[in-house]
Amino acid sequence: MTAEESAEPLGDSVVRPLSEALAHLGGEDDGHEPGAPGGEDDGRETEPEPGTPGERLWRLAVDATRLRTLPGLPTGVQEATAALQHLAWLFTDDTGTRAARVAELREIQAALTPQIQVAADGPYLVTNPSRITDWLGEPITVLPQMALCRCGASAMKPLCDGSHARTGFSGDKDPLRVPGHRESHEGVQITVLDDRGLCAHSGFCTDRLPTVFRQGSEPFVAPSGGRMDDIVRAVRTCPSGALGYAIDGQEPAPQRRETTVEISRDGPYRVTGGIPLTGDDGRPEPRDAGASTEHYSLCRCGRSRNKPFCSGMHHDVGFTDPPLSENPTLYEWAGGLPALTRMTQIFYGTYVPQDPLLAPLFSRMSPDHPERVAAWLCETFGGPRLYTERYGGYEHMIAEHAGKALTEEWRARWAQLIVRAADDAGLPSDPEFRAAFVSYVEWGSRIAVENSQPGAAPPPHMPVPRWWWVCSATPGSRVSALAPVAEEPAADLPGTGEPLGFAAHIRPLFRETDRRSMSSAFDLWSHTDVTRHAEAILVRLRRGDMPCDAPWPADRVDVFARWVAEGTPE
């Protein structure tokens, strides 16, 4: 980053929030009379700060961080500190120095409670975060003080770049939002608690258990539509905290998960692990009665009706992250580790235990088996080498299958149910992804059977396989997936009185798309066919319902009418 490139973020994210904060504290008056010694305009030449821009930024970041630790300062100080820490980090090239500097900043603000503070009409100020992941589940660099974009307009998402101040972002709730109200839906063994006002419409419950969580039906929850353990699992994956459950009138203790902020793709920040959430005044952010504090979803598009919480508006306003490359890995297309883990948890947590054939085979699997298999799939589908790094790689996987004498019957059931789990987990259902996914499942499961037979001797040291789209069926391989069919240039119309002919004047009026859409009835590029249907075509052209995407202009219809009147010459 050059000094010029840093100027804009410095202005928007450092100078503005700091000056607003100082104004708030009455700090505009610095105690100096204009022109007095020590004032800005005392007429003396100010000595330039020594050191490179990077070193100067670093000292500023340290000063701001010390200031940030003082109690009672406006949130602008945090916002500016976050920007300075980020800039100082960017300007430090050497990895070792970077790590040492981050450690020093962390030390300065170590006494601050980890939390997310919602700045009024501003970003989420994240203090001492332990883990922030992208939508693929990969950790992003965390600094001790961070400001995450809340208005949806930042050019350096997930970080705030000060855009909220330029765009006039408002953090107010919409008075027309679905009101927060927790309803109880009593079943035989379990009561499902549901607050529609908190729902972020991530679809995890409706995908996973559509017989209980019924999109478009009233009431939305039908506890008798599923087994108790399935309902519990579905409720526990609800990212917004809208869902809860009680058994015999008792709600369970909150889940204990690692504190994480997940930046979901095209959607909200999903927070787990009970990170405290406070408002601009430092008090706990008001929540609906009974809402989860262990997990919640925070608006990232800036348009939620229930700010700061997500209300699912990102779908309606078409909030999107930058598109994937034309040839993403299967891992990226699937949705990364979070999506693959969702699938394996459903597979090993629901389908396998309920299946009389598979349940005994997996009765002694380790509790983290779903995570392990997800890590394998993540690596196989082109993601990070998680299985190799964490779980022993190829050799371990081979050893797990060795000697189990897996049968074709087991294999077929395994393959059938994992595809069902992929549906439930909301993995992409496009033909290209599913072709690649199923081909791997078929291939991998058959290899597993082979390697599990008595006396099998699979090669001992192999890398984890890498799977790719099949037969070049990548997402970009279909014309329709790349771009709409290019508009064909409009044909030149003949002059008035110019003798008309089918080949020269009529056929060019019909586009390739028109021809294709009529091909089941007749050929619009054939003189014989068009002559035979000329009157009917003319009626529809005049009515404007052919072609179906947009009617022809009148002068074009007139040319066709004249050609018909002239006896449809060739």
Residues, the chain, total?
570
Q: Give the strand pairing for 269-272 and 260-263.
A: antiparallel
- Closest to ligand HEM by CB, 245 vs 347, is 347
Cβ closest to ligand HEM, residue 57 vs residue 441 = 441
Sheet containing 145-148: which strands, arranged edge to edge?
Answer: 145-148, 124-127, 115-118, 277-278
User: Does the footprint of ligand HEM cover residue 441 (CB under 6 A)?
Assistant: yes
Task: Tell me if 558 sits within 8 A of 552, measured CB to CB.
Answer: no
Q: 273: which residues sit within 8 A by CB, 6+ positions away?
A: 256, 257, 258, 259, 260, 294, 295
- Cβ distance to ligand HEM smaller for residue 362 or 552: 362
Burial classification of residue 455, based on how many CB atoms lie within 10 Å of its CB (0-12 exposed, 13-18 middle, 19 or more buried): exposed
Look up residue 517 and give its DSSP letter.
H
Please give the C-alpha separations between residue 333 and each of 443, 510, 549, in angstroms, as whole numbers.
20, 38, 32
Residue 234 parent element (H or E): helix 228-236
| Contact code string over 307-346 relative to ligand HEM, x by CB under 6 A | ----------------------------------------
Least distance from ligand HEM to the Cβ atom of residue 135, Å: 23
Write phi, then psi, for 83 (nearest 5 degrees).
-65, -40
* Cα–Cα nearest to 324, from 334, 338, 312: 334
Does 464 help bind ligand HEM (rule: CB under 6 A)?
no
Structure tokens at 317: 């306003």
Asked whether the beta carbons of 241 and 294 are under 8 A apart, the reply is yes
Number of H-type helices and E-type strands within the chain: 22, 11
Asked if residue 372 binds ligand HEM (CB under 6 A), the reply is yes
Q: Which is nearer to ligand HEM, 394 or 502 (CB)?
A: 394
C-beta nearest to ligand HEM: residue: 444
Residue (208 or 401) nearer to ligand HEM, CB: 401
411 binds ligand HEM (CB under 6 A): yes
- Using the rule CB under 6 A, is 149 a contact of ligand HEM? no
The 498-517 site mask, x for binding ligand HEM (CB under 6 A), equals --------------------
Beta strands (DSSP E) in 104-232 are 115-118, 124-127, 132-133, 145-148, 182-186, 191-195
Written as one letter, the residue type at 260 is: T
Q: Is 371 in the site for ligand HEM (CB under 6 A)?
A: no
In Å, how far are 196, 351, 393 from 563, measured between CA atoms?
A: 62, 67, 73
3-state secondary structure of 148: strand
Residues 309, 296: Cα–Cα separation, whole Å: 7
Residue 506 DSSP label = I
- To 10 degrees, the CA torsion angle through 521, 524, 527, 529? 10
Residue type, 393: G
Shortest distance, position 470 Cβ to ligand HEM, whole Å: 15
Minimum distance between the CB of residue 190 and ligand HEM, rounded to whole angstroms?
29
Asked if 361 interacts with ligand HEM (CB under 6 A), we say yes
Verify binding: residue 496, ligand HEM, rule CB under 6 A.
Answer: no
Q: Which is nearer to ligand HEM, 397 or 427 (CB)?
A: 397
444 binds ligand HEM (CB under 6 A): yes
391 is a site residue for ligand HEM (CB under 6 A): yes
- Beta-bridged to residue 296, according to DSSP, are 271
- Contacting range for ligand HEM; rule: CB under 6 A; set: 296-304, 315-323, 326-334, 371-379: 371-379
Residue (307 or 372) nearer to ligand HEM, CB? 372
Closest CB 383 distance from ligand HEM, rounded Å: 14
Task: List the one residue from 305, 369, 505, 511 that touches ligand HEM (CB under 6 A).
Answer: 369
Rounded CA separation 214/187 (Å) = 15
Verify binding: residue 445, ligand HEM, rule CB under 6 A. yes
422 binds ligand HEM (CB under 6 A): no
What are the DSSP E strand ranges found in 85-201? Answer: 115-118, 124-127, 132-133, 145-148, 182-186, 191-195
Q: Do 296 and 311 meet the contact criterion of CB atoms below 8 Å apart? A: no
Contact flag: residue 364 with ligand HEM (CB under 6 A): yes
Stretch that binds ligand HEM, among 123-131, 253-261, 290-298, 368-376 (CB under 6 A): 368-376
CB of 469 to ligand HEM, least distance (A): 17
410 binds ligand HEM (CB under 6 A): yes
Return the residue of 295, 300, 303, 401 that touches ligand HEM, per CB under 6 A. 401
Residue placing its CB nearer to ligand HEM in the complex, 2 or 363: 363
Residue 520 interacting with ligand HEM (CB under 6 A): no
Q: Is 287 in the site for ligand HEM (CB under 6 A)?
A: no
Contacting residue, 365, 456, 491, 538, with ligand HEM by CB under 6 A: 365
Interface with ligand HEM by CB under 6 A: which residues? Answer: 361-362, 364-366, 369, 372-373, 376, 391, 396-397, 400-401, 404, 406, 410-411, 414, 441, 444-445, 448
